Structure 1
Amino acid sequence: MFNGYGSLSNRKGNNKSFTDYDSLPPNTTIASPCILPQKSQDNTTENGFKNEIGEIDNSSVAGICTAVVHATFPSWTNIALMISLIFGGCCANVFALEAIIKEQPSSGPLITFAQFLLTALFTFPSFLSFSAGSRFPLKPRAIPLKSWVLYTAFFVTVNLLNNWAFAYKISVPLHIILRSAGPVASMIIGYLFNGKTYSQGQIMAVAMLTLGVVGAALADAHAKGQSIGIGSSKGNPAVTDTITGFTILVLAMLLSAFQGIYADRLYENHGRNHWKEALFYSHMLSLPLFLPTMPQLISQWRALLTSPPLLSELSHPRSRFFSTPPSNAIVGITSMSTSTRGSRATSNFGIVSSLLVTIQQHGLVQSTLLQIPTRVAYLLMNAFTQYLCIRGVHLLSAKSSSLTVTIVLNIRKLVSLLISIYLFGNDIAPGIFFGATLVFVGGGLYGFEGARLKKNIKKRD
């Protein structure tokens, strides 16, 4: 969601990777793993002169090593954190989302509200300050409140539209396919409204990524016998419903691209180290917007309460998650015997099954699981994993451009699909393998092209 090819810290003096030694108290010792062993204090040469050059060399090397440690270690930890949050939280989030949508397609607004409420509660303590001196006990903002209000309007609208589309019988594969066009939309909107230019390598990479995710989703849907076409036959959604859902997703995709442009400009003007502020205000300011829909939210909540208790769901997980695919799901699947597929599913399931049996033997756990409706548990799981996911996305957004964010999220969608295939013992259809190849090659090409462009910019500077 941000402009350029990386952080602006080196350009605007916002680089916090290096320690500000001028602000340290007097006589403060700086510890560094790169400090060289000190020689004796009397460093006199045979001619009676101090070895000044040697002392300078040692301190210079130590200073360089200290700077490298301070600059590199936070960068690598940030990268690891971003990858863990995005690929871990977002992948688990998709599982919980589909578990709710399958049983209650109209629960999109409730899912969005739960996600926003939990994220706001988790981030609120970091901004609480009773000594701030204002009417509200919040820390001073780095970015004006009116800017966050406009950003929040984009943010909540996009999220509501994406979840609202499920009410019009949009299947999860079609949902993935349409949202995978996000990089294309970001590129077009950035070119038309933000004056961005892209190299041929970047355009080719985005095309490969989009085609890869779309192809993998199509192949997976075909292998599982799921319909993603537009039709009014029995069991399929009406044409008008599908077109409405399609239009909603396209609108959400375009608004998301404009949101990226707006965020780019915010971070250009105020610096790129305020992703936590973006995470908090975009969710906290969104909560009042749900007040008009409160009757609908209450109705959807009551519907979730009618689901079976979580204990019954955990008692028969095999029949729910590892069921045999329908006969028409065999088309396009690579040749593998049913017994081999079943044995792999059983192997994956063994550890989870043993753990569930052990947990359920405790009386307190059993009584608790009997009181929690299944879909309520999925809702809480979805909201919590969404917090992890969106935290990683905001952290990535503060360090890279909006196009890079959409590229990473596209790769994450494919990873979610591949993990699902492996965990549930399904075979990889040829189309999925081909789509995965396109995605990974496209992602590598985009990374290579971005590094090349940054190198050229540095040379010109």
Structure 2
Amino acid sequence: MHVSNTTINVFVGCCASAFLMEILMANWPNSANLVTYLQFFFISLQGFIVTTKWGTVGPKIPISQYVLLVTLFFVTTVANNYVYALHVPSTLHMIIRSASSPASMLVYCCVKKQLPKLNNAIGSILISAGVALAMYGGAPTDEENKGTFLYWCIGVTILLVTLITGAFTGLQQERLYSRYGKHPNEMLFYTHAIPLPVFFGLSPQLLSTAAILPFAAWVLIALNILSQFYCTHSVHELATKETSVTVTFILTLRKFASLLISTIVFKNNLNIYHVIGTMLVAIGTCVYFNFFSARRQRPVSMKTK
């Protein structure tokens, strides 16, 4: 597969965003909702100016068609960020989210009423087994931290649910693209602008959090917002150039890259369950996308006498 500039942009933007988010959550875990709101606000403001030309350009996709997509996207994004405040390690967070491939396959098969291919099924089993091992290895076992264990259980449950909602988000996005054409910048704007009024209910918490954050936190938040915009924009652009299978594969590799960066920079000591789980996720991803069969194929040379 040719590595395009868009693919490189996805890796750079998304890995930088995840790296900065981990620093923020390690020092100010209660700022998750504030960071999410500011990300949505910045992307909406940029889209209003650039995409809609200050509101003078109407949407190519009817606003009513965005309701389900926006609901799924908003719930998935907010829930994933909120998990950081529930004492779920970032390494486990990224490993669980790497199971997006089997989740997408499950949702697709249920909706389309089609059986998966054998390599998809085997890959999904391997990925699911890897995620289960990572969950087991990431659970706190200290008897004095029962409250922490409860939060961990809630956080993991939320992550598993968002795998399903995220899969439905991709399915709905694919349906809109096939029906109305591909308009990534427009979709990027409306999926972030429409949910903004929901944050009004969180305004007391957002204001109280903003009031206590130091200057260093605001610098990190600003960098995170820019990198998240770069990441999200690159992913939407990639979706117009590659198939959904290729996009999912690239995003899975990106998550493993983020996991590697987190392990090296933050010195997160992975135990044996994390190591085996990560290996199973990696092998399962290769099997899922039929990587090994592709490697065995060789071009046939025709020799003439």
Please say whether Structure 1 and Structure 2 have the same fold, judged by a TM-score greater than 0.5: yes
Say whether residues 1:446 and 2:289 are aligned partners.
yes
In structure 2, C-alpha distance between the alignment counterparts of 1:167 and 1:436, rounded to whole Å: 27
- Tell me if the contact between 1:187 and 1:403 (Cα under 8 Å) persists in the aligned partners: no
Provide closer, same or farther for how the CA distance between residues 300 and 97 of structure 1 changes in structure 2, counting only shifts above 3 A. same
- Tell me if the contact between 2:119 and 2:290 (Cα under 8 Å) persists in the aligned partners: no
**What's the counterpart of residue 151 of structure 1?**
69
* Equivalent position SS for 2:235: helix
Aligned-pair distance for 1:445? 6.1
Aligned-pair distance for 1:203? 2.8
Aligned-pair distance for 1:438? 6.0
Equivalent runs, 1:414-433 vs 2, <5 Å: 414-422=256-264, 432=275
In structure 2, C-alpha distance between the alignment counterparts of 1:260 and 1:403, rounded to whole Å: 11
In structure 2, C-alpha distance between the alignment counterparts of 1:297 and 1:234, rounded to whole Å: 31
TM-score normalised by L of structure 2: 0.82
Say whether residues 1:93 and 2:17 are aligned partners.
yes
1:212-260 per-residue CA deviation (whole Å, 9 max, x = no partner) reads: 6777x68xxx9xxxx7215463356434322222222222222111112
In structure 1, C-alpha distance between the alignment counterparts of 2:281 and 2:167, rounded to whole Å: 23
Name which of 141, 163, 170 aligns with 2:88. 170
Aligned-pair distance for 1:145? 0.9
Say whether residues 1:139 and 2:63 are aligned partners.
no
In structure 1, C-alpha distance between the alignment counterparts of 2:291 and 2:138, rounded to whole Å: 34
Provide closer, same or farther for how the CA distance between residues 429 and 243 of structure 1 changes in structure 2, counting only shifts above 3 A. closer
Among all aligned residue pairs of Structure 1 and Structure 2, give the percentage whose two residues are the same amino acid.
28
Say whether residues 1:382 and 2:243 are aligned partners.
no
Say whether residues 1:84 and 2:28 are aligned partners.
no
**What's the counterpart of residue 203 of structure 2?**
294
- Tell me if the contact between 2:39 and 2:225 (Cα under 8 Å) persists in the aligned partners: yes
Name which of 89, 109, 116 aligns with 1:198. 116
Query: Residue 120 of structure 1 aligns to which amino acid in structure 2?
Result: S
Say whether residues 1:412 and 2:217 are aligned partners.
no
**Which runs of 5 or more structure 2 residues have no equivalent in the other structure?**
295-305
Say whether residues 1:265 and 2:175 are aligned partners.
yes
In structure 1, C-alpha distance between the alignment counterparts of 2:72 and 2:277, rounded to whole Å: 35
* Equivalent position SS for 1:395: helix
Equivalent runs, 1:59-458 vs 2, <5 Å: 80-129=4-53, 137-208=55-126, 228-231=138-141, 233-235=143-145, 237-271=147-181, 273-305=182-214, 373-422=215-264, 432=275, 435=278, 439=282, 442-443=285-286, 446=289, 448=291
- Tell me if the contact between 2:41 and 2:196 (Cα under 8 Å) persists in the aligned partners: yes
Aligned-pair distance for 1:86? 1.6
- Tell me if the contact between 1:213 and 1:439 (Cα under 8 Å) persists in the aligned partners: no
Provide closer, same or farther for how the CA distance between residues 294 and 196 of structure 1 changes in structure 2, counting only shifts above 3 A. farther
In structure 1, C-alpha distance between the alignment counterparts of 2:293 and 2:198, rounded to whole Å: 38
* Number of positions where the alignment pairs a residue of Structure 1 with one of Structure 2: 294
**Which runs of 5 or more structure 1 residues have no equivalent in the other structure?**
1-74, 131-136, 306-372, 452-461
* Equivalent position SS for 2:61: coil
Deviation larger for 241-250 or 397-406 = 397-406
Q: Pairwise CA RMSD of aligned residues? A: 3.3
Query: Residue 122 of structure 1 aligns to which amino acid in structure 2?
Result: Q
In structure 2, C-alpha distance between the alignment counterparts of 1:405 and 1:237, rounded to whole Å: 38
Query: Residue 100 of structure 1 aligns to which amino acid in structure 2?
Result: L
Provide closer, same or farther for how the CA distance between residues 434 and 101 of structure 1 changes in structure 2, counting only shifts above 3 A. closer
Query: Residue 208 of structure 2 aligns to which amino acid in structure 1?
Result: S
- Tell me if the contact between 1:109 and 1:160 (Cα under 8 Å) persists in the aligned partners: yes
In structure 2, C-alpha distance between the alignment counterparts of 1:297 and 1:254, rounded to whole Å: 28
Aligned-pair distance for 1:110? 0.8
TM-score normalised by L of structure 1: 0.56
Aligned-pair distance for 1:157? 1.0
Aligned-pair distance for 1:407? 3.0
In structure 1, C-alpha distance between the alignment counterparts of 2:293 and 2:213, rounded to whole Å: 46
**What's the counterpart of residue 454 of structure 1?**
none
- Tell me if the contact between 1:210 and 1:439 (Cα under 8 Å) persists in the aligned partners: no
Query: Residue 90 of structure 1 aligns to which amino acid in structure 2?
Result: C
- Tell me if the contact between 2:60 and 2:183 (Cα under 8 Å) persists in the aligned partners: yes
Aligned-pair distance for 1:210? 5.6
In structure 1, C-alpha distance between the alignment counterparts of 2:83 and 2:139, rounded to whole Å: 15
